[in-house]
Amino acid sequence: MGDEGIMKQNAETGKISIDTTCEKKYRNSLPNFVQSVRLKYVKLGYHYLISHAMYLFLVPLLGISSVHLSTFRADDLALLWDQLKFNLVSVFVCSSLTVFLTTLYFMTRPRKVYLVDFSCYKPDSKYICSKELFMERSVDANIFTPENLAFQKKILERSGLGQKTYFPQAILNVPATPCMSEARSEAEMVMFGAIDELLAKTGVKAKDIGILVVNCSLFNPTPSLSAMVVNHYKLRGNILSYNLGGMGCSAGLISIDLAKQLLQVHPNSYALVVSMENITLNWYMGNNRSMLVSNCIFRMGGAAILLSNRPSDKRRAKYQLIHTVRTHKGADDRSYSCVFQEEDENRKVGVALSKDLMAVAGEALKTNITTLGPLVLPMSEQLLFFVTLVARKVLKMNIKPYIPDFKLAFEHFCIHAGGRAVLDEIEKNLELSQWHMEPSRMTLYRFGNTSSSSLWYELAYSEAKGRIRKGDRTWQIAFGSGFKCNSAVWKALRRIEPAKEKKNPWMDEIHEFPVEVPKITKIG
């Protein structure tokens, strides 16, 4: 509220009076503001104290030790040497054991996995599908009822998508021509476009790739998509090739985790991960509203990621993979069926989204961060979480569960752009700022829900904005059918200079972002 809401001017006398209602409001809000500021700094002081407790303890200890050593006489050193001469066998055994254990540790420790670079496919402008064009094609299909056309229009208006998302040619045609050959063309365009760009950026030869993982949930032709990549790039005959299907939007991080596991046992290797979804054969042509939502939010896109376990690649790599955490709630029937591909009453195939989706996603996220938290959170947050847990579970105190501040563990957040409601819920539950949510919201606005590849458009956004600095930690969170919630934690090995990111899909328009997305309203 501006000054015009506090001060009023009398039209006859010209005198200015203060609106007492607004005055009382500001008076009442001032103590709360001061209290919140105080609590903020108290928490920061607590976090600093706990995080540096070891140093605060060691400094006085080293001071006492130095004072004690300063009084150590030469006679005392001679006496100590005389004692050690009679224990040479013990010294030798201890030294040998130390060397052996140190060697064993370095030989058996997990290999470090580096992200050399990644590429996100940006389709040609002829594939742009505005909201108006989407509705035109929906009308042209002559399938949807007037009520469902109005429903789709409302979904679009509240989806958080912008006017420049992409659809495959088969859906843009009049009439639409979804068929196997068109679906293959879309897959080849997206996969090969992303891989070509990645190989050009890294300078890695196709023959040097030893591991290939491709994921696409709804399109699984024979030969597989991974075989299409092998054939197109003439990859070597002993390549370890994997094709993941039916695993939903979280399959991208499953592919990263699989590649990481393979890089642990195959030294001196490159792993190529390709994440995408196929729209051509999966545009729903019926009138079940739970299936129509997918038509409105899913769009064309894909990403290619090059991983390496070669120590020599650390100098040029962008990131190091620190953690991957996978959570699967498929044992629960409600979680299993909340995203389900099936036929409607007219035998039209579509993906139905249950009303329980948000609740299921929340439960999966809670389980995932319970596992991830101890790995990444500072001791100050873990201690607060533990004390609160003991108070609630053991002492039966009626207090709220403590939500750790993940902003103390990560500088950047890449949350799967599955939809506006999902982003709103995570922003609220993790208490993230608009700045932290910006990459996810802008990716949803500019490219739509590109399924498993959306996380990489988000990371590319942060790079294009010049936000990634050496040592920064990024948390990627993905949700998918099953139901699954997966996380990956990356650490930046160097500062990413936007001027050098010529192949970034955002670079030619990053100056236009962020944009203001209208507030969401309920659908009647």
With contact defined as beta carbons under 8 Å apart, do 171 and 128 qualify? no
Short-list 338, 361, 333, CA closest to 351: 338
Q: Degrees (nearest 5) of the Cα angle 127, 129, 135?
A: 140
* Helix H or strand E encompassing 171: helix 169-172
Residues 6+ apart with CB under 8 A from 521: 158
Helices (H), 448-479: 454-464
With contact defined as beta carbons under 8 Å apart, do 303 and 453 qualify? yes
Catalytic residue among 278, 449, 486, 504: 449
Residue 249 appears among annotated catalytic residues:
yes
Catalytic residue among 243, 295, 412, 504: 412
Residue 412 appears among annotated catalytic residues:
yes
Catalytic residue among 120, 328, 368, 485: 328
Q: Give the C-alpha separation, 522 to 524, whole Å.
A: 6
Residue 416 appears among annotated catalytic residues:
yes
Catalytic residue among 120, 129, 216, 249: 249
Sign of CA dihedral 450, 456, 459, 465: negative
Q: Give the C-alpha separation, 92 to 499, whole Å.
A: 57
Q: Degrees (nearest 5) of the Cα angle 26, 32, 34?
A: 100
Q: Give the C-alpha separation, 425 to 418, whole Å.
A: 12
Q: Give the C-alpha separation, 413 to 125, whole Å.
A: 29
Residue 485 appears among annotated catalytic residues:
no
Give me 58's structure tokens. 């060691």
489 DSSP β-pair partners: 323, 475
Catalytic residue among 243, 416, 485, 486: 416
> Which residues are known catalytic residues?
249, 328, 412, 416, 449
